[in-house]
Amino acid sequence: MNGLGNQFAIFDARVLGQPLVLTPAQITAIGQQASCDQILAIEQTKTPGADIFMRIWNADGSEVGACGNGTRCVAWLVINERAEDELRIETKGGILHATKIGEHQVCVDMGKPRLHWQEIPLEERMDTRRIDLKVGPQDAPVLALPGAVNMGNPHIVFVVDDVEQVAISRLGPMLEFHPLFPEQANIGFAEIRARDEIRLRVWERDAGLTKACGSGACAALVATCRQGLTDRCATIIVDGGELQIEWRTTDDHVLMSGPIELEFEGDVAF
């Protein structure tokens, strides 16, 4: 499946009655066979208030806690199976609530953004609205003072004038492994076109530059809104299409709405 071009191989492991165990080598092989960005497993859950558990691996074998586009894909599969419009999905980052809002459209409540420096996490105390990080000369930096947001995974968001002119493939790996980020970080580059429109590209930790990043889109809106640059609801334009993001005032939750696509079903030998 894919969410705005963000590709996933999804395994239904509920029949096993136990977690799906894959080695990093197997995950990498599956990623290569299926040409996907991440591998997801649908598993049974024992947590009250959740319907399923979703496990997430990057194609390099590392396990991560959140994936917005993958959540929409898994939600669509299970919602259609159950003939219901809502689903509660347990992840390592918490329980997410998903709602089917169209034939191939899903809205996911990504929960409250985590904004304290220890929740990102950062290596040292600082204001996460604009953290003390610069790239380039001190008096004329290329990038400076990004916002930091955790949406189940750590995101650093730089505001740029023209995202197409940013050397993301060169800067992304350097910033992902910056000493300030003990768990690495996803690096977003946000071009603000209007208070309700952002052009975004994201370098994902352990994955690289992808066509879309759902949690990154949520983080971009929260980060720019905290800096007074955007409103609490905006269209986020990624390489693969558009997401609608709302940072709700009533409960501080972030809602992400967007499309999914089922590409094919088949077997993988591993």
> Measuring CA to CA, how many Å separate 204 from each of 97, 118, 147, 151, 213?
23, 20, 16, 13, 8
Instruction: For residue 206, name the pLDDT band (cuts at 50, 70, 90).
Output: confident
| pTM for this predicted structure | 0.93
What does the mean pLDDT of the chain come to? 94
109 pLDDT exceeds 80? yes
Task: Note whether 75 and 139 are same-domain residues.
Answer: no
The C-alpha atoms of residue 3 and residue 121 are separated, in whole angstroms, by 27
What is the DSSP track for 33-69? HHT-SEEEEEE---STT-SEEEEEEETTS-EES--HH
Whether omega before 182 lies within 30 degrees of 0, making that bond cis, reads no
Contact status, residue 248 vs residue 174, Cβ threshold 8 Å: no
**Catalytic residue flag (residue 67):** yes
User: What pLDDT does 108 receive?
Assistant: 97
Please check whether residue 267 lies inside any domain of the structure.
Answer: no
Question: Is residue 116 one of the residues assigned to a domain?
Answer: no
Count structural domains, the chain. Answer: 2
DSSP E strands in 59-139: the ranges are 63-64, 86-91, 94-102, 105-109, 134-135
Highest mean pLDDT among 119-123, 135-139, 203-207: 119-123
The DSSP line for 186-236 is: EEEEEEEEETTEEEEEEEETTTEE-S--HHHHHHHHHHHHHTTSS-SEEEE
pLDDT band at 269 (very low <50, low <70, confident <90, very high): low
Same domain, 143 and 231: yes
Question: Do 140 and 238 belong together in one domain?
Answer: yes
- Do 91 and 157 sit in the same domain of this protein? no
Q: If you count them, how many residues does the chain have?
A: 270
Task: Give the separation between CA 135 and CA 171, rounded to whole angstroms.
Answer: 9
Residue 263 domain flag: no
71: DSSP letter: H
pLDDT class of 270 with cuts at 50, 70, 90: low
Q: Residues 10, 76: one domain?
A: yes
Tell me if residue 107 is catalytic.
Answer: no
pLDDT above 90 as % of the chain: 84
Give the pLDDT band of residue 225 (cuts 50, 70, 90).
very high
138 and 242 co-located in one domain: yes
- Residue ending a domain, choose from 47, 75, 110: 110
175: helix, coil or strand?
helix
Cα–Cα nearest to 135, from 162, 90, 166: 166
Q: Does 75 share its domain with 140?
A: no
> Has residue 96 been placed in a domain?
yes
147 and 100 in a common domain = no
pLDDT of residue 15: 86
- Which residues are 159's β-sheet partners? 190
pLDDT confidence tier of residue 89, bands split at 50, 70 and 90: very high
97 and 159 fall within a common domain: no
pLDDT for 121 = 98
161 and 98 together in one domain:
no
- What is the pLDDT averaged over residues 63-86? 93
Exposed/middle/buried for residue 267 (C-beta within 10 Å: 0-12, 13-18, 19+): exposed
pLDDT of 207 strictly over 90: no
Residue 43 in domain: yes
pLDDT at 150: 97
Per-residue pLDDT, averaged over 150-174, amounts to: 96
- Given 67, 73, 107, 225, which residue is catalytic? 67
Non-local CB neighbours of 50 within 8 Å, separated by 6+ positions: 88, 89, 90, 95
Catalytic position from the list 36, 73, 107, 213: 213
In a domain? residue 125:
no
pLDDT of 62 > 90? The answer is no
- Asked whether residue 120 is assigned to any structural domain, the reply reads no
CATH number reported for the structural domain that contains residue 48 in this entry: 3.10.310.10
Per-range mean pLDDT, top range of 34-48, 56-70, 168-182: 168-182
Residues 69, 46: Cα–Cα separation, whole Å:
24
Q: What letter would DSSP give residue 159?
A: E
Residues 155 and 89 in one domain: no
Q: Are residues 138 and 241 in the same domain?
A: yes
Does 129 reside within a domain?
no
Domain end call among 78, 95, 110 = 110
Torsion of CA 179, 181, 184, 188, to 10 degrees: -110
What is the average pLDDT across 60-77?
92
Residue 235's domain comprises 134-247
- Give residue 17's pLDDT band: very low, low, confident or very high (50, 70, 90): confident
